[in-house]
Amino acid sequence: MKRFRYGFGIRSKLVLVSGLLLTIPWLGYEYVSEMEKFLRQGQEKTLAGTARAVATALHDRPKLFEIGDPNLGHTDVYVRSLPAPIQLDGRLDDWNEHGDFARSYGEGDLLENSAIHTPASLSFSHNVGRLGKYLYAMFLVNDDHIVVRSMKSPRVDRGDHLRVAIATRDSGFTRYAITLAEGGAIAAYQLASGLDTTQVVRVETRLRGVWRPTEQGYNLEIRAPLSMIGARVGFAVADVDNESTHEIEAVIGTSGTDTIDELARVFIPSSEIELILKGLMRTTSRIWVVDARHRVLAQAGSLKGQDRSDRIGIAPPTGLMHILQSAEEQVLRPVYARVLRQPTDDFRDELSEASQLAGREIAGALSGALTTRWRLTPDNRAVILSAAHPIWIEDQVMGAVVVEETTNAILTVKNLALERLFTIILAVFLIGALTLFIFAARIASRIRRLRDEAERAIDAQGRFRGVMARSRASDEIGDLSRSFSNIMDKLHQYTGYLENMATRLSHELRTPIAVVRSSLDNLKLQPLPDEARVYMERAQDGLARLNSILTSMSEATRLEQILQNSERETFDLCKVVAGCVEGYKAAYAPRAIELRLPGQTVWLDGAPDLIAQLLDKLIENALDFNEADSVIVVELGLDSANAYLRVINQGPPLPEEMQGRLFESMVSIRPHKGSSEPHLGLGLYIVRLIAGFHGGQAYAQNHHNPAGVAVTVKLPIVEEKSRSWTAHTQLS
């Protein structure tokens, strides 16, 4: 029986349905995204509240905004607050950690020069900062030849040196010279007033510093008390290259150092504001205070190096969650690290050491409104939220408080939520999918078992082999199994009734037929008119045909009974076939019958008489359809396990719709030619029964070259009785 090929089975449908579970991660992601929006709104409100609180502490305090000249330009000196002390070692590494804000000075800042000066012989970079009570300054000098002044020389201009001019807090003007000494030491001297830059008044011990030679020149670091610094300051580097004449080749400076008017103006942020910020700042934020001209008055906090572990707000997992977390750490965390954007402190902060701030939020605050702004860092690695609140003095905006914070904490919480969510969803999905798959496999197994039982209940010939087992399950498949079993029982009873009908009809009709036959025989002995004898002869012919039909029906029935009781023996199939064919040649002469046998003995386990009867039916069938003057071929072929008995006749081909039904009972395709012999279609049915008794099968197919029909019976041979079988004979 041909099995049905499933195009889309139950398991496939359940897999499709379980695929709908994938919508759960999407819904979870949308939920986390909404949560992130609420967290951002909360962060924005919190930062705005912090900015309002700091601004409230600075309201109506005008002294904090008395910063001297309000017209400071971009060339003036802005003294930044340093977050950590500077080590006076001449290396400048700690300056780089605070940001690269050094200004460069070169040929355009030349104050003095001699005839031998070249533009490439002198330049420097400069930066200043404040920490506590001290001002720190660094100078990275490019000098093609360093000349160190001898400590025995009375003049400070006998070597390379730094000139420092300061406008003191009492409106005075003081100049200093810092000379390079052996071993990296410096010597600081206060110079006399006037234009003479060489006359020393005294040694200045408050100026401390160290210098260090480099490949391009030298580095110089100095420290001075803030109390020495007034509203103006100037720095100039003097270069002496001729060690014999000690002539100054060039002087390059931040400004002139000879008069107070030449000095650059100094802006030092308010230390009082910084103290206020330190008391109010949050450890996760950076706070700025700017004046109305966007200049930074104070700054506290940092956007980097924040510890976000205390802000997660998620308790350590226990139980099953602990197991899931362990699996997540080992397997899923590397995947999450690649898929999810991770928070990082390694981003470019262009405002970390800024002296002026600009932006939409600051402009809004200076116009009198609380303003917030989200922005990406220049390297797109972090998102920064800024909230700016105005600082009021009476009815005038004097500045603004700017509070900044990254979204790293929110991103951390979001990532953790997504990781936990997807880990749990993945576990639930796997368990659910596995459960559905097992459930589908069990249902499919029960259905396949029901199918196999239904197929085993009927053999290839359509006979019942046994009754289907009744399932005790209370579900729909159990109901279907019991329905199939009931149907099979009823079909079994009905087919049994049909199978026994021929025997009952044969038994019941023989007595009436015998009565009719004896009556006709007695009537034949009586004198009858000629017209009456014609009708009597027709009745006798019909009676003979009816008797032939009953005989055929009885033959099939008897054969089924004989097959149940037949004894088996091992015999040579070639001898049986050869003997039968010789008899057919004599019986059906002049019809031509050709025999083809293999050149070896073919042993078969069965009943020789039944094989002879099988061959009788095949020859009768071939004679009925064979064309006149054509040869009927009886052929016996072999392969390693089976013998193939084939009878070929030349004649009309089999209709396609009959090729599979030809061996069924009561099926015939013989054309009616006025023959007196009735044909019930039992001949090939008997062939099928005998073939099945010998463990074989029978089939018919159209034969080409010449056109006709070949009926083949496949019979298993007895291998241990075979002497030496050859390859399967190629059948024409």
d(CA 616, CA 470): 44
Cα-trace Rg, the chain: 58
d(CA 234, CA 75): 12
pLDDT digit string (tens) for 381-433?
A: 888 888 999 999 888 888 899 998 888 888 788 778 877 777 777 777 788 77
pLDDT above 80: residue 719: no
pLDDT digit string (tens) for 622-664?
A: 888 888 788 899 999 998 889 999 999 888 888 776 665 566 6
At 168 the pLDDT is: 83
Q: Is the dihedral of CA 551, 554, 558, 559 positive or negative?
A: positive
Helix axes 320-327, 408-456, angle to 10 degrees: 100
Averaged pLDDT, 520-546: 79
Cβ contact 454:468 at 8 Å = yes
Tokens representing residue 463 in the block: 């006979």
318 vs 567: which has the higher pLDDT: 567
340 vs 644: which has the higher pLDDT: 644
Q: Which residues of 251-265 are buried (b: 16+ CB within 10 A; e: fewer)?
A: bbbbbbbbebeebbb
Which amino acid type is present at position 55?
A: A
Averaged pLDDT, 126-136: 88
Averaged pLDDT, 60-79: 65
pLDDT above 50: residue 247: yes
Please name the residue ranges forming H helices in 266-373: 271-280, 320-327, 333-339, 360-366
pLDDT above 60: residue 98: no
At 307 the pLDDT is: 46
648: closest CA among 634, 662, 628, 638?
A: 634
Q: Is the dihedral of CA 650, 651, 657, 658 positive or negative?
A: negative
Which of 61-65, 551-555, 571-575, 721-725 is least confident?
721-725
Half-sphere exposure of 45 (CA within 13 A, CB side): 5
Residue 724 — pLDDT band, cuts 50, 70, 90?
A: very low
Distances (CA, A) of 251 to 143, 248, 503: 12, 8, 138
pLDDT above 60: residue 442: yes
Q: ω into residue 716 within 30 of 0, thus cis?
A: no
Residue 731 — pLDDT band, cuts 50, 70, 90?
A: very low
Distances (CA, A) of 524 to 162, 547, 669, 676: 163, 19, 37, 22
Residue 207 — pLDDT band, cuts 50, 70, 90?
A: very high
CB atoms within 10 A of CB 475: 11
Give the range with max mean pLDDT: 60-64, 130-134, 244-248, 710-714. Answer: 710-714
Secondary element (H or E) of residue 430? helix 408-456
At 325 the pLDDT is: 64
Residue 490 — pLDDT band, cuts 50, 70, 90?
A: confident
Distances (CA, A) of 340 to 20, 306, 337, 379, 418: 24, 20, 6, 18, 9
Cβ contact 222:207 at 8 Å = yes
Distances (CA, A) of 385 to 20, 36, 231, 296, 307: 39, 14, 35, 18, 18
At 120 the pLDDT is: 86
At 42 the pLDDT is: 85
Average predicted confidence (pLDDT) for the chain = 79
pLDDT above 70: residue 558: no
Averaged pLDDT, 118-139: 89
At 732 the pLDDT is: 39
At 211 the pLDDT is: 93
d(CA 86, CA 88): 6
pLDDT above 60: residue 186: yes
At 238 the pLDDT is: 92
Cβ contact 670:683 at 8 Å = no
Averaged pLDDT, 81-107: 79
At 675 the pLDDT is: 46
d(CA 678, CA 687): 18
Averaged pLDDT, 465-492: 80
pLDDT digit string (tens) for 260-287?
A: 888 888 877 777 777 777 766 665 688 8
195: closest CA among 212, 175, 171?
A: 175
Averaged pLDDT, 557-584: 82
Cβ contact 349:376 at 8 Å = no
630's torsion region: left (phi>0), alpha (psi -120 to 50) or beta? beta
At 716 the pLDDT is: 92
131: closest CA among 92, 168, 84?
A: 84
d(CA 385, CA 645): 94
Pairing verdict, β 371-376 and 296-301: unpaired
pLDDT digit string (tens) for 659-704?
A: 655 666 555 555 544 444 444 456 787 888 888 888 888 888 888 7
Tokens representing residue 672 in the block: 């009616």
Q: ω into residue 706 within 30 of 0, thus cis?
A: yes
At 13 the pLDDT is: 67
d(CA 134, CA 309): 36
At 681 the pLDDT is: 57
CB atoms within 10 A of CB 115: 6
pLDDT digit string (tens) for 188-205?
A: 999 887 666 677 888 999
Share of the chain above pLDDT 90, in %: 15
CB atoms within 10 A of CB 358: 11
pLDDT above 90: residue 486: no
Residue 623 DSSP code: H
At 209 the pLDDT is: 93
At 310 the pLDDT is: 42
At 312 the pLDDT is: 46
Burial class from Cβ neighbours inside 10 Å (0-12, 13-18, 19+) for residue 692 reads middle
d(CA 52, CA 58): 10
Angle at 572 between CA 570 and CA 577, to 5 degrees: 130
Cβ contact 248:112 at 8 Å = yes
pLDDT above 60: residue 618: yes
